[in-house]
Amino acid sequence: MVRSMKNRWKVWGVITLLFGSLSVEASEPVYVNVLSTGVVNDGVTMNTRALQSAIDSCAHAGGGTLYFPSGRYLTGSLFLRDNITLFLEAGAVVLGSPDLKDYYLPEQSYISFRNDVAAVINAEYCRNIKLTGLGTFDGQGALFPIRYEAYRPKLFRFVGCENVGIQDLTFQNSAFWMMHVLACKYVNIDGIKVHNRFCNVNNDGMDIDNSQHVHISNCYIDAEDDGICLKSTSADICRDITITNCTLTSDCNAIKMGTETNTGFRNIAISNCVVYNTRYSGLALEIVDGGVMENVLIKNIVMSRVNNPLFIRLGNRARPYHPDSLVRNVGSIKNIFISDIVATEIGRFTDYAPVHRIEGEKRGSEYPCVISGIPGAPVESVTLSNLSFSFKGSRVLPVAGPIPEQEAMYPEYKMFGPLPAYGLYARHVKSLTLNNVVFSTDSADSRVPVYCEDIERLTLKGLDVEVSEQTPSYVMLKDVGHTTIFDSAFLERGPEPVVASGEVGPICLSGCIGPDGTSVEGRLQRGERENAITRQP
């Protein structure tokens, strides 16, 4: 079979020696060995013109496959056409030029906040394109200035394409984002490896931006910036996305929606992923530029050594994707279902970088999960089920003073400063349900496990949390409209399991055990006190 394939490539190399003579009326797909078209695989010769000519000629013949044998191919910006496949044999490496003069960005018709950076491999409004094989694309990002403000090329940039396949390849060392998929439809990314760490800055693994019907599976991603990042930088919504069976590690967030969120995200399913050694959040779900986020299902995730497992933020940065598209609404987050997640060694991220990304982040984190809207614009309908989170703990001093709102601030899990809970801090939420959630600490922590403020409806079922001798309560409620607590054994361990203050509505208890070992049932109205609950003025 191997000899047969080699013979076929040899035959096609002869056929295409005079490539320009191929008829546009060819009835079968064209297979071209790029070495037969004047391309040189020595890693030194610049191949941009020869490769682009091969792509254009193949497209002119009706489409086909460009075959890259083992070797190193240096190039600047290339532009794919309809019906083109790039097949890289094992040992084939396509190298991005280290010289910015070799990159080209055409005038853009698609208006987006993030469509202004050139790339090594480009595709604009193409149909039926595919990248496959066991070879490697290498952006040589370390050869560019390592500065956030410096102009640096992406490795891949696809705009307005349909029927895109990316399979089995290795992508590494981009000077900027690795892969930007903007306003594309029917995209399948499967079995790829992304190594985009320690080569430059802003090195996302892949950015799926205002695209639809995208399926990402069986990928390994190691990124300096966000691993898999869904974005919304234009007038089209990002929707119908699946992410499954992926392993991620990141110097920022592993899986993220945001921060650019002008139209938002709808119908997102994430499952069966492993996240490890991640400096920021394992899962970050953000709306800050007026968009919507709804119908998000996340399940079966394993995390270890992340500084924060979960961050959900509705804010009001209100940055437009174009000067003429002012953001007039806050946006919304609703119908978020997160279940079956195990996270261990939270706050114990290990930094292997020779230079720390941001000064002051060398130690582990002391931050809980965060779910936060803003006054007048709450997060809606969040359900957390079957979670087991083990935090680093060790904070012994109480948090004093009000927690700032930071409505327009760039969203990150540390944005509010020290928080009064080690497990979950929730504020400005319309409906929040915790079902079979376990919070524990490796070291004693004096903060409460769960702190809820300005929640319209709160349901706690089967909550199992760990406290220290200095912890004032298991659950702290402030300005919570209606609370239901049931089947929670934590109420049998401690004199003040629930402390409520402010404008707190009815608190319903069912199937809980009080500190004296007796059953606690009933409905407490404002001003009443039960042996399991203390109300503060």
What does the domain layout of the chain look like in residue ranges? 479-537
- Quote the pLDDT of residue 343: 98
Give dist(CA 8, CA 69) in Å, integer: 13
**Rounded-to-integer distance, Cα 180 and Cα 192, Å:** 15
State the maximum Cα–Cα separation within the chain, in Å, rounded to a whole number. Answer: 91
Distance CA 196, CA 192 (A): 13
Whether residue 423 is predicted with pLDDT greater than 80 in this model: the reply is yes
pLDDT of residue 296: 98
Between 533 and 418, the higher pLDDT residue = 418
Give the model's pLDDT for residue 535. 55
Which residue, chain included where needed, has tokens 């869904």? 230
> What is the average pLDDT across 180-201?
96
**pLDDT band with cut points at 50, 70 and 90 for residue 470:** confident
In this prediction, residue 398 carries a pLDDT of 67
Q: How confident is the model at residue 497 (pLDDT cuts 50, 70, 90)?
A: confident
Q: Which residues contact 324 (CB under 8 A, 6 or more apart)?
A: none
Per residue in 202-242, pLDDT tens? Answer: 999 999 999 999 999 999 999 999 999 999 999 999 999 99
- Residue 513 scores a pLDDT above 70: no
CB atoms within 10 A of CB 141: 27
Least confident of 325-339, 442-456, 465-479: 465-479
| pLDDT, average across residues 273-286 | 97
Print burial letters for 380-390: b (CB count within 10 Å at least 16), e (below 16): bbbebbbbebb
Mean pLDDT in the chain? 88
Concatenating the DSSP letter of every residue in 174-192 gives -SS-SEEEES-EEEEEES-
Task: Check whether 472 has a pLDDT greater than 90.
Answer: no
Identify the CA nearest to 275 among candidates 173, 326, 211, 345: 345
Q: Can you give the pTM of this predicted structure?
A: 0.90
132-166 pLDDT, tens per residue? 999 999 999 999 998 877 899 999 999 999 999 99
What is the rounded average pLDDT of the residues 459-482?
Answer: 91
Q: Is 213 left (phi over 0), alpha (psi -120 to 50) or beta?
A: left
Q: What does DSSP assign to residue 155?
A: E
**Of the given ranges (96-100, 213-217, 462-466), which has the lowest mean pLDDT?**
462-466
- Residue for token pair 């309809």: 82
Banded model confidence at residue 536, pLDDT cuts 50, 70, 90: low
What is the mean pLDDT of the segment spanning 491-506? 75
CA–CA separation, 61 and 30 (whole Å): 7
Neighbours of 375 (CB within 10 A): 10
Q: How far apart are CA 56 and CA 143, in angstroms?
A: 29
When pLDDT is averaged across residues 490-507 and rounded to a whole number, the result is 75
Q: Please tell me which residue, 466 or 382, carries the higher pLDDT value.
A: 382
Q: Are 283 and 257 in contact (CB under 8 A)?
A: no
Q: Which of 166, 5, 12 is nearest to 84 (CA)?
A: 166
pLDDT in the model for residue 365: 67
Cα–chain center distance at 380: 21
Sign of the dihedral through C-alpha 517, 518, 523, 524: negative
